[in-house]
């Protein structure tokens, strides 16, 4: 059995999750479920990033004890992941003891190896981004990433020798063109490394300025820089320095899934940290795009967030998962609008998919008292080509995370089956007493629906299971091996329509 290790970023806990956070975890879940469908052994890691001044300040503003505040926000993340059926294997919190210990061990090790050293620092600090910048990097005196105000800082600090490894990283990227995806992000990182000299990374913060962090193990006056702390979760979460066998089993990660906003930290800091620790880099870093409202990235600080809980109430977890994965090709930005959601939901889910299942099962109920068996092995010509294409393309498209294309192909099958019903006119077969033809027609539709329900599993797990159950089959049949035409029987239980149209504006 091959193994597959996928991670998501650790979310800051200064506020409850929004659609942007949900997007990353839904993508991660879709990949993890696809791999399980292929019978691979999966470890799916997600969690929360709980240090840094921003979080402490937010807790103070709410007049709450910092840890109490954090626990509350962490629960809201966990609740949302439950509602969205995110099948993570472990939820890591950077305030957990084992993680703190590993971070401190890493710092000590790198200090002894002289990859971390003490020096003077003069620069500009952006609290929301938790990033330090030189004067030259500022954009008209503002943070080059978020364009907000920065604070000037002069102090002693500890530094990690990024510069020492710049040439290695450049070479590594050239030798591994699939290390960062999509290509546009790979080019961005390589271009940056070719045109700039990396500054060493400041990995400590003086306690007099930042109090909420992991104690710097070799100097009591400092805490660890929150990014240096958080990135280490990808190894501490699978047993680094705690459980050798577990760690060796899962590392290196197959995919670090991130948003494009945190590419620099993952594609430059992290591979260099791993190199200094003598560990292999992850196989791939995939940076997806942003959900925007108008022209602006959705984020709490811009005050334009969409609450996923509200949407789930209207379109369900699967409706939201489907929309986010179908609407834009992975890697691109997307515009979030209620109209787009409503159109997709009503047309793709309520009309195409929902109707197909409902009317097919209604006919099986009406004409064959809920039971049909088929000895036929031949796929009807009218949807053979469509199904063949899907069977050929599904795995390669899923492996390249081209989710919107996969869904498009699945919907071609759905619509071909709908057309098959309209063209065949089953009610005429019934009238003319062509029972065998009618039985063959319905059996083929049930088989087509069964196979389709396996393919939609990574995207809409609840719907997939619901369809399988309505077909009278066990959830265990949801595996890629069974996504082929089979003889057999169906003892169906017709349920309510899978999706009811939304009319509200």
Which residues are at the interface with ligand MSP (CB under 6 A)? Answer: 9-12, 20-21, 23-24, 49, 230-231, 233, 258-259, 261-262, 290-291, 297-299
Q: Taking the alpha carbons of 314, 317, 319, 323 in that order, is the dihedral positive or negative?
A: positive
For residue 180, the surrounding DSSP H or E stretch is strand 180-181
Q: What are phi and psi of 256, to 5 degrees?
A: -95, 115
* Nearest to ligand MSP of 22, 483 (CB atom): 22
Cα–Cα dist 414/474, whole Å: 22
Which C-beta is closer to ligand MSP: that of 33 or that of 93? 93
Q: Please, what is the minimum distance in Å from the beta carbon of residue 386 to ligand MSP? A: 33
CA 425 vs. chain centroid, Å, equals 42
C-beta of 25 vs 464, nearer to ligand MSP: 25
State which residue, 18 or 473, has the beta carbon closest to ligand MSP: 18
Which positions ≥6 away from 453 have C-beta within 8 Å?
463, 464, 467, 468, 471, 478
Tokens of 376: 């036929």
Distance CA 250, CA 174 (A): 25
Looking at beta carbons, which residue is closest to ligand MSP? Answer: 20
Q: What is the smallest separation between the CB atom of 261 and ligand MSP, expressed in angstroms?
A: 5
Question: Terminus-to-terminus CA distance in the chain, angstroms?
Answer: 48
* Structure tokens belonging to residue 368: 């064959």
Closer to ligand MSP by Cβ: residue 332 or 502: 332
Dihedral (C-alpha) 210, 212, 216, 219: value to the nearest 10 degrees?
50
| Smallest separation (angstroms) from ligand MSP to the CB of 411 | 24
- Tokens standing for 210? 């930042």
Q: Closer CB to ligand MSP, residue 24 or residue 204?
A: 24
Distance of closest approach, residue 449 Cβ to ligand MSP, in angstroms: 33
- Angle at the Cα of 191 from the Cα atoms of 189 and 193, rounded to 5 degrees: 70
Please, what's the largest Cα pairwise distance for the chain? 91
**CB of 10 vs ligand MSP, minimal distance in Å:** 5
**Closer to ligand MSP at the Cβ: 130 or 466?**
130
Closest approach of ligand MSP to the CB of residue 145, in Å: 11
Smallest distance from ligand MSP to CB 218, Å: 23
């Amino acid at each position: 059995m091959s193994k597959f290790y996928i991670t998501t970023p650790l979310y800051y806990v200064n506020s409850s999750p929004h659609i942007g956070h949900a997007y990353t975890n839904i993508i991660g879940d879709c990949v993890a479920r696809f791999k399980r469908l292929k019978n691979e052994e999966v470890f799916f890691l997600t969690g929360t990033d709980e240090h840094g001044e921003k979080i402490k300040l937010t807790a103070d503003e709410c007049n709450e004890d910092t840890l109490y505040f954090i626990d509350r926000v962490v629960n809201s993340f966990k609740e949302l992941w439950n509602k969205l059926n995110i099948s993570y294997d472990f939820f890591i919190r950077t305030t957990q003891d084992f993680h703190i210990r590993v971070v401190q061990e890493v710092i000590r090790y790198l200090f002894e190896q002289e990859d971390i050293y003490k020096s003077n620092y003069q620069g500009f600090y952006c609290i929301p981004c938790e990033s330090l910048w030189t004067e030259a990097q500022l954009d008209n005196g503002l943070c080059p990433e978020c364009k907000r105000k920065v604070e000037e800082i002069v102090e002693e600090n500890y530094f990690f020798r990024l510069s020492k490894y710049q040439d290695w990283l450049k070479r590594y990227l050239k030798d591994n063109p699939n290390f960062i995806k999509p290509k546009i992000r790979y080019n961005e990182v390589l271009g940056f490394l070719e045109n700039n000299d990396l500054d060493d990374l400041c990995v400590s913060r003086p306690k007099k300025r930042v109090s909420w962090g992991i104690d710097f193990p070799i100097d009591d006056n400092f805490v660890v820089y929150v990014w240096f702390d958080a990135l280490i979760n990808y190894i501490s979460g699978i047993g680094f320095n705690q459980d050798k066998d577990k760690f060796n089993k899962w590392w290196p990660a197959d995919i670090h899934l991130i948003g494009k906003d945190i590419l620099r930290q993952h594609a430059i800091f992290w591979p260099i940290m791993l190199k200094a620790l003598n560990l292999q880099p992850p196989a791939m870093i995939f940076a997806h795009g942003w959900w925007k409202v108008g022209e602006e990235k959705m984020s709490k600080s811009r005050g334009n967030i969409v609450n996923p809980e509200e949407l789930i109430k209207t379109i369900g977890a699967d409706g939201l998962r489907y929309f986010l994965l179908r609407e834009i090709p992975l890697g691109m930005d997307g515009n979030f609008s209620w109209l787009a959601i409503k159109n997709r939901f009503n047309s793709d889910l309520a009309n195409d998919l929902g109707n197909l299942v409902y009317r097919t099962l209604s006919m099986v109920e009406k004409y064959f008292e809920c039971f049909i068996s088929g000895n036929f092995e031949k796929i009807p010509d009218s949807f053979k080509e469509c199904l063949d294409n899907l069977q050929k393309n599904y795995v390669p498209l899923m492996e390249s995370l081209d989710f919107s294309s996969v869904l498009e192909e699945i919907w071609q099958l759905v619509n071909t089956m709908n057309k098959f019903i309209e063209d065949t006119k089953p009610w005429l077969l019934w009238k003319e007493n062509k029972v065998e033809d009618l039985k063959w027609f319905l059996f083929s539709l049930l088989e087509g629906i069964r196979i389709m329900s396996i393919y939609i599993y990574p995207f809409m797990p609840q719907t997939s299971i619901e369809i399988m159950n309505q077909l009278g089959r066990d959830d265990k049949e949801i595996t890629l091996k069974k996504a082929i035409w089979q003889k057999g029987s169906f003892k169906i239980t017709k349920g309510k329509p899978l999706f009811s149209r939304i009319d509200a504006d």
